[in-house]
Every structure is written in structure tokens, then in C-alpha cells.
Amino acid sequence: MKNVQVIDGAINTAYNIYGISDEDFELMFPNGHDIEFIEDFWDRVGDKEATRITEFMWNNLFRKSDIHGIHGTLFYELKPQKVHLYPTKRFSDDPSTTR
């Protein structure tokens, strides 16, 4: 099981953490990526598979105090604002993480 943080464009976004299987995580975050945009995920895997994975994910909300790490971040409705920050879809792309 992998932990995915969901960040959406809402002002009151909760930054919730959801669980998905290791296999579905690989579909959502291929090639070692840890950043994904919902539009790209949906386009890559198609409606049927994306619906299956996200419906499972929505039913597996974790309390933040119970998890041990975040394996991936899924952005909703933020691609225009964020895509330039993550050209390789890796958290390490974010300039605020370099010291």
C-alpha cells in the first residue's frame, strides 16, 4: 500500500492522504515519478482504469497521524499553475526543496 497526498485547487483543500495498491501506484506514478497531474493520469490510463483506481483511493482515506510517509502527490485542477515546477514529475524538481 502506498500513500498519495491529493492537492486540489480549492482554497480550503485539506491535503488528504489516501491509500492505493502498489500496482495502482505504479500506474498513477510511472517511471519513478512522485508527482502527477490528474489530467495526465486520466489521459494515460483511460477512463475505465482511472475511475477504478480513483474510486478505490477515495474509499481509503488515512488519518495523517497514522501514516508513515507520502509516496506521491496528485494535483487536481492545478496543472497550469504547477506543471512548470515539476518538469520531470519528481518532488526533487521543486526549487523550494533544494538547500
pLDDT of residue 91: 85
- For the stretch 50-87, pLDDT in tens is 999 999 999 999 999 999 999 999 999 899 999 999 99
CA distance 4 to 72: 5
- For the stretch 15-59, pLDDT in tens is 999 999 999 999 999 999 999 999 999 999 999 999 999 999 999
pLDDT of residue 30: 97
- 69, 1 in Cβ contact below 8 A? no
